Amino acid sequence: MPRNRPEIDRARKIGDILRAAERRLQEGGYDALSVAAIARELNVAPNSIYWYFASKDELFVAAVEHLLHDIVARKPPGRRSLERRVLWFVEQLDELEPLRIGLYDRARSSPVVAELVSRLDDGSRQILSNALSGEVAEEEREIATDALLAVIDGARLRGLRGQQRRRVISYALRRFTRSTADARRRARP
């Protein structure tokens, strides 16, 4: 059944609001997200923004989810090694790095943002756990996933970029997968 005009207008208006919110987030993070400024940019009343998003935090969450959806929709090219897949994934998420601090900061006082942060953490854990499947022994996959997340987060917190960050993450991956391969060799009769 074709969508009627109000549904099309609603979807377009939400898209316009989200794109404006994304631009503001990319320019200055959560602090730059101003419902009044978005309303001025779109030439609408601020209350009309609240018609679609009940609060600034709900708009923040929707804009981050929209950005994340665009990132996740990208597929890594061709078949790649575990190392290249993990590094590709980490590099894709760099676009959201400036927003991470705002997300974790707002999560302390906003249930809607806290729920998004929880979903993002669970999603990252699941993606890495799936990537490690077959590379790390099943009984070690959970701890290996948590260790790899700690390495990635630690590299970000330390401000490692480019080649240096890739080397640190690659080193950790090789150590995790080597220890599993060594354990498998020792277990063979």
Q: What is the CATH number of the domain that holds 28?
A: 1.10.10.60
- Domain-located, residue 61: no
CA distance 24 to 30: 8
Mean pLDDT of the residues in the chain: 86
Do 160 and 131 fall into the same domain? yes
pTM summary value = 0.80
CA–CA distance, 63 with 146 (Å, rounded to integer): 27
pLDDT tens track for 16-39: 999 999 999 989 899 999 999 999
Mean pLDDT, rounded, for 11-17: 93
Q: 86 pLDDT exceeds 70?
A: yes
What would the pLDDT profile of 38-61 be if each residue is shown by its tens digit? 999 999 988 989 999 999 999 999
Residues 110 and 157 in one domain: yes
Q: Are residues 38 and 87 in the same domain?
A: no
Which two structure tokens, joined as six digits, stand for 102?
Answer: 């705002």
Higher per-residue confidence, 1 vs 76 = 76
Q: Which domain holds residue 176?
A: 74-187
Vertex 177: Cα angle to 175 and 181 (nearest 5) = 115
My answer on whether 7 and 42 are in the same domain is yes
Residue type (1 letter), 177:
T
CA distances in angstroms from 160 to 83, 123, 152, 154, 173, listed in the order given: 17, 23, 10, 9, 17
pLDDT at 2 over 70: no
- For the cut 80, the answer to whether the pLDDT of residue 181 exceeds it is no
> Does residue 63 lie in a domain region?
no
What is the number of structural domains in the chain? Answer: 2
Instruction: Tell me the per-residue pLDDT of 64-79, one tens digit each, with 9 for 90 and over.
Output: 999 988 887 887 666 7
Q: How confident is the model at residue 186 (pLDDT cuts 50, 70, 90)?
A: low
Supply the pLDDT for residue 129. Answer: 92
Query: For the stretch 77-115, what's the b/e string if a residue is b when 16 or more beta carbons lie within 10 angstroms of its beta carbon?
Result: eeeeebbebbbebbeebeebeebbebbeebbeebeebbe
Residue 187, pLDDT > 60, answer no
